[in-house]
């Protein structure tokens, strides 16, 4: 069964890459010849992005499409690893242990 892309996560990665390069939504929209509101809708996951536009964004922001889709420059096994690390950094040790136990159960149950 094919997995459905999570457009809100892709949007967060677009925003992150754009902000790291100090490019405004207005500048990105202008380079792509689209409206600022459309860029905003991508970044918030309220609009789906097609492959042509994803490739265009990756070139403008100088990141790979792999990074935008999976969060990894190399292999998809690292999907969401940065997002998990960000969450874990905000948790105390008890919360981290709980998340770890849940993850163990999920992998054991093959969910």
User: What pLDDT does 73 receive?
Assistant: 61
Is the same domain home to 89 and 52?
Answer: no
Is the same domain home to 12 and 64?
Answer: yes
Count the domains in the chain. 2
Could you list the residue range(s) of the whole structural domain that residue 57 is in?
1-75
User: What pLDDT does 1 receive?
Assistant: 45
For residue 96, give Cα distances in angstroms to 85, 88, 102: 10, 6, 10
Encoding tokens for residue 46?
């309220």
**Per-block mean pLDDT, blocks of 10 residues, the chain (111 long):** 77 95 97 96 94 95 89 60 86 94 88 69
Is the same domain home to 56 and 92?
Answer: no
User: What pLDDT does 3 receive?
Assistant: 66
User: What pLDDT does 71 receive?
Assistant: 75
How many of the other CB atoms lie within 10 Å of CB of 42? 24
For the CA atoms of 50, 37, 62, 79, the dihedral, rounded to the nearest 10 degrees, stands at -60
User: What pLDDT does 24 receive?
Assistant: 97
Whether the Cβ atoms of residue 71 and residue 79 lie closer than 8 Å to each other: yes
| pTM of the predicted protein model | 0.65
């Amino acid at each position: 069964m094919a997995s459905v892309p999570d457009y809100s996560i892709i949007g967060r990665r677009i925003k992150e890459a754009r902000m790291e390069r100090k490019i405004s939504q207005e500048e990105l929209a202008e380079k792509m010849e689209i409206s600022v509101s459309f860029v905003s809708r991508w970044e918030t996951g309220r609009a789906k992005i097609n492959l042509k536009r994803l490739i265009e964004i990756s070139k403008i922001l100088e990141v790979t499409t792999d990074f935008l889709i999976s969060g990894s420059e190399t292999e998809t096994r690292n999907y969401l690893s940065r997002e998990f690390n960000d969450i874990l950094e905000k948790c105390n040790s008890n919360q981290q242990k709980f998340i770890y136990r849940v993850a163990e159960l999920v992998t054991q149950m093959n969910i």
